[in-house]
């Protein structure tokens, strides 16, 4: 085994989060990364918005674990004044705990700044 191969095997999978589709596409094209894009429509309710984020992040982690890296980009037109019901809050909380365990398995590169 070559030294470089050994280092690559010990490297954590990477999950890129981009708020600019152009940067995400650049990573996809130049580095050959799998790419997931999603959009949250304006006036989407908070529960659905949270479900979308959890599902996309979960899928991104699965892809990163399988392929070594994944880039997620999004278009966020989301504006809502709604609130979660207590039942919705409990559902999101349980899903979030599961997601956090998955996120611990990858290196997150958050370029939303």
Tens of pLDDT, residue by residue, the chain (113 residues): 344 443 445 589 999 999 989 999 999 999 999 999 999 888 888 899 899 999 999 999 999 999 999 999 998 766 666 788 999 999 999 999 999 999 999 999 998 86
pLDDT score for 80: 66
Q: Is residue 63 part of a domain?
A: yes
pLDDT score for 78: 61
Q: Is residue 55 part of a domain?
A: yes
Q: Is residue 98 part of a domain?
A: yes
Say if residue 36 is exposed, middle or buried (CB neighbours under 10 Å; 0-12, 13-18, 19+): middle
Q: How many structural domains compose the chain?
A: 1
Q: Is residue 7 part of a domain?
A: no
pLDDT score for 65: 96
Q: Is residue 6 part of a domain?
A: no
Question: Which one-letter DSSP state was computed for residue 38?
Answer: E
pLDDT score for 10: 58
Q: Is residue 65 part of a domain?
A: yes
Indicate the pTM of the whole model.
0.81
Q: Is residue 5 part of a domain?
A: no
Q: Is residue 39 part of a domain?
A: yes
Distance CA 17, CA 31 (A): 15
Q: Which domain holds residue 56?
A: 12-110
Distance CA 34, CA 36 (A): 7
């Amino acid at each position: 085994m070559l030294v470089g191969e050994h280092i690559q095997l010990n490297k954590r999978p990477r999950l890129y989060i981009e708020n600019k589709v152009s940067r995400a596409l650049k990573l996809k094209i130049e580095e050959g990364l799998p790419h997931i894009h999603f959009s949250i429509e304006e006036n989407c309710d908070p529960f659905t918005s949270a479900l979308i984020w959890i599902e996309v992040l979960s899928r991104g982690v699965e892809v990163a674990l399988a392929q070594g890296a994944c880039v997620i980009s999004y278009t966020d037109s989301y504006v809502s004044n709604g609130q979660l019901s207590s039942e919705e809050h409990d559902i999101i909380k349980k899903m979030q705990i599961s997601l956090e365990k998955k996120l611990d398995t990858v290196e997150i590169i958050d370029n939303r700044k």
